[in-house]
Amino acid sequence: MASTTVTRRALLLTSRARHFSSTAARPAAEVKRLGVVGAGQMGLGIALVAAQKAGVPVILVDNSQQSLDKGLAFADKLLSKDVTKQRISQEQADAARALLKPTTSIEDLCNADFVIEAVPEIPQLKFDIFAKLAEICPKHAILATNTSSISITRIAASTTGGNSTDRSNSSRVVATHFMNPVPVQKGVEIISGLQTSSETVETAIEFCRKLGKVPSVSADRPGFLANRILMPYINEAIICLETGIGDRDAIDAIMKNGTNVPMGPLQLADFIGLDTCLAIMKVLHEETGDSKYRPSVLLRNMVAAGWLGKKSGKGFYDY
């Protein structure tokens, strides 16, 4: 019986190996038009980097004209800063800015080769967006998400329209999880779902390299690589504060001066957003069932109080 089980497993692994070897040689597709859904800090950062580094036209979509105006004003500020510091010329800044095309209509993505969704970490919101993208985007277009915690397999499943046998849409869904702030940080996680094709992954990797990023490939597991490592570190620092092992300044100072990180875990949590930290810890805790990912009581209470960090003016520090 044991021998039969081993043989079956070996045949399954061989079958999978043949599947991946047959698709691994497919070349990356060329990206001539990019779409970005969400004009917040992450979406705007991705759009601006794509315009500057890859020189591709970017359709920036948001359902709020106010968000679009705010995002483009921030882009102008960043470009002006780069010109002042002589990182780029005024002509280069103008050229990059001209490539950003704002719109409140997601239907304007009908000719995009690659779309990156960068909206808040609300699962149903992302599922609805991807169902829509699957309808309106060309069949060759890569549909990417900037999610930091939601399963790519679940997001890909939302593109099938309930038809699980139709893999034409779900195979082109992938995650391109950029690090914040996008114009500064070089890291980006590439995560594939069970349905994602190797061609989709290769196209995502090559496009991110054109943006000057350094891709790291992660499996579709709760938290992926970055947050699976980072968030428990931040959460443990909050527990150290909560239980009186050290005060705020001591905790941040020992990590800055002891491990040479640019900012301590509590200050970093403020910059990320305590609500975001809590949301990711909840995902890790719920999806793994492991008590080591239990969110700190202090973290929960600070979010309940509206002390979300830098964006709200108060977190572990005052801003």
Query: Residue 14: is its pLDDT beyond 70?
Result: no
288/116 Cα distance (integer angstroms)? 27
Predicted pLDDT at 153:
96
* Structure token pair of residue 291: 């008590």
Is 161 known to sit in a ligand binding site? no
Whether 148 is a known active-site residue: answer: yes
Q: Please pick, among 151, 170, 227, 296, the residue that the annotation labels catalytic.
A: 227
Quick one: 24 exposed, middle or buried, by C-beta within 10 A (0-12, 13-18, 19+)?
Answer: exposed
Contacts of 215 (CB under 8 A, 6+ apart): 188, 189, 190, 204, 205, 208, 209
Q: Please pick, among 177, 199, 202, 296, the residue that the annotation labels catalytic.
A: 177
Whether 189 is a known active-site residue: answer: yes
137/128 Cα distance (integer angstroms)? 14
Residue range 44-70: mean pLDDT, rounded: 97
270/186 Cα distance (integer angstroms)? 21
| Helices vs strands, H then E, count in the chain | 12, 8
Is 193 known to sit in a ligand binding site? no
Q: Please pick, among 146, 148, 169, 197, the residue that the annotation labels catalytic.
A: 148
Predicted pLDDT at 8:
43
Q: Which residue has the tokens 């499943």?
A: 157
Quick one: 201 exposed, middle or buried, by C-beta within 10 A (0-12, 13-18, 19+)?
Answer: buried
Q: Please pick, among 149, 151, 158, 189, the residue that the annotation labels catalytic.
A: 189
Between 29 and 39, the more confident residue is 39
Between 116 and 165, the more confident residue is 116
250/257 Cα distance (integer angstroms)? 10
Is 121 known to sit in a ligand binding site? yes
Is 180 known to sit in a ligand binding site? yes
- Kindly report the pTM of this predicted structure: 0.84
